[in-house]
Homo-oligomer: A and B are copies of this chain.
Amino acid sequence: MKQTGDLNLVKKINKSIVLHHIRTDSPISRARIAEITGLTKATVSSLVNELIESSLVDEIGVGESSGGRKPMMLLFNGTAGYAIGVDLGVHDILAVLTDLTGKVVREKRVNHDNPSAQEVIDLLKATIRDLINGAPESVYGIIGIGIGVPGICDEDGTLLFAPNLEWENVPLQKYMEETFHIPVVIDNEANAGAVGEKQFGAGRETANLVYVSIGIGIGAGIIIKGELYRGATGFSGEIGHISIQHDGPKCRCGSLGCWELYASEHALLERARQEFGSSITLEMLLRKAEAGDAAIIALFERLGYFLGVGVVNIINSYNPEFVILGGRLAGAEKWLMKPLLQLLEKRSLPHPRKLLNVAFSELSDRSTVLGAASFAVTKFFASTTVSVEHN
């Protein structure tokens, strides 16, 4: 059912707008917020005072006058609460405690060699418990947990299918909420990564971006008009399984010639092992390329070409302003970027390309974990200031 309008809705909308400006443009005065938003000074004043009341905003003293009374500057109080962000990887768990601005306060990384789901979940709980116990005192305490997972989830936070973990139908959100009794958000690691890059990384200035997560497979998180696009049922972005060769080799998904068979880290290593022995790792390849090994450099350049093929497909179908490539391959940027850009220049449609930018992640392996924490913070604010999404 559609959400109807009433006075409550009006207040929530305006309060969230005011808070948004304090979060992004602070330090800022009441008068300036009124000017920017079009709300009257009286309205802004009233809403700001409620936000101060609820500890989300602080007055930090007077600012510079522009020819009249000095303004009282407002600051978002990032330490009114803390969030947990988790990147549940195939071989390790990266977890962070952030404040409400997304600043990392503590961080834990633990390995697991992919034992049973139960053992990984227990490890996950212990890791989170540890971060919670070490969190500073605050008004709202731990406001929520966000978890990025390497697979497909539904709206209830059940991990439906994670091929590389070999998990199926794990109700992760339920488990976590039963354990910690705070709101939990579960989403795909590429979606979380896209949000991480949008909020804290290379995509801060961009409303439309695609984050391509390159690892064992290839996934993508798509941000449209500043918001994550999830597709019809919440599991879109399986872009690694776009076929770039309709009669190519068979993929485990059933299709033929999927992009991730050519352009993933896994594909690179497979090929390198065929040519140079089975014990080779990405770190070794990077070292050899750095030392000038032409055969290895050629291998990276070939990968750059195939990355480009898929990126052209992304550009032509999603038309983003920014494509951000994430994952450990960022370390090979210097060999990948040239063939990739050459291919884009040659092959993408002129109109979509005009505004386009391609870059590797700025956050290295933190995009997902920061995005996951950001999910928790967003959910917190949605419940306190605006809650339009009820359906």
A352 touches B238 (CB 8 A): yes
Q: Does A253 contact B (CB under 8 A)?
A: yes
Alpha-carbon distance between A246 and B257 when the two chains are bound, in angstroms: 10
The residue that A10 contacts in the complex, of B5, B229, B247, with Cβ under 8 A, is B5
Per-position 1/0 for A235-257, Cβ under 8 A of B: 11111011111110000011110
Cβ B242 vs Cβ A316 within 8 A: yes
- Chain A, residues 6-28, CB within 8 Å of chain B (1/0): the string is 11011111100100100000000
With A5-B10, A13-B4, A349-B253 in contact, is A231–B242 under 8 Å at CB? no
CB nearest to A210 among chain B residues: B232
Q: Nearest chain-B residue to A247 (Cβ)?
A: B245
Residue A363 is within 8 A (CB to CB) of chain B in the complex: no
Interface string of A292-334 (1 = CB under 8 A from B): 0000000000000010010011001111110000000000000
A315 to B309, CA, bound (A): 19
Within 8 A of B (CB), among A253-274: 253-256, 262
Binds B, one of A33-41, A196-204, A375-383: A33-41
Tell me, yes or no, whether A291 is within 8 Å of chain B by CB: no
Tally of chain A residues near chain B (CB < 8 A): 64
Q: Is B241 touching A244 in the complex (CB atoms < 8 A)?
A: no
Residues of B within 8 A of A9 (CB): 5, 10, 13
Q: Contacts A224-B229, A232-B224 given: A242-B313 contact, CB under 8 Å?
A: yes
Tell yes or no: A348 within 8 A of B by CB.
Answer: yes
- A142-157 interface bits toward B, Cβ cutoff 8 Å, 1 = contact, 0 = none: 0000000000100000
Bound CA span A208–B236, Å: 12
For A161, A232, A351, the residue with the greatest tally of chain B CB atoms inside 10 Å of its CB is: A232
CB-based contact A254/B349 at 8 Å: yes
Distance between Cα atoms of A109 and B71 in the complex (Å): 65
CA distance A350 to B151 in the complex (A): 13
Distance in angstroms between the alpha carbons of A262 and B247 in the assembled complex: 13
**Nearest-neighbor residue (CB-CB) of A225 within chain B:** B232
Contact of A246 among B309, B348, B352 (CB under 8 A): B309
Q: Considering only CB atoms, which chain B residue lies closest to A255 in the complex? A: B347
Instruction: Indicate if the CB atoms of B10 and A6 lie closer than 8 Å.
Output: yes
Whole-angstrom distance between the Cβ of A306 and the nearest chain B Cβ: 7
Q: Which among B152, B207, B232 is the interface contact of A321 at CB below 8 angstroms?
A: B232
A69 at the interface (CB under 8 A from B): no
A181 at the interface (CB under 8 A from B): no
Give the interface centre of A14, A243, A253 by most chain B CB atoms within 10 Å: A243
Whether B355 and A243, one on each chain, are in contact in the complex, defined by CB atoms closer than 8 angstroms, is no
Give Cα A349–Cα B151 distance, bound, in whole angstroms: 13
Instruction: Tell me which residues across on chain B come within 8 A of A39, comparing CB atoms.
Output: 4
A31 within 8 A of B: no
A255: which B residues are within 8 A, CB to CB? 312, 316, 346-349
Closest chain B residue to A322, Cβ basis = B232
Complexed CA–CA distance, A351 and B231 (Å): 12
Distance, CA A318 to CA B313, complexed state (A): 13
Cβ contact within 8 Å between B352 and A318: no
Name 5 extra pairs, CB < 8 A, besides A233-B352, A236-B317, A242-B313.
A3-B13, A4-B38, A208-B232, A232-B320, A255-B346
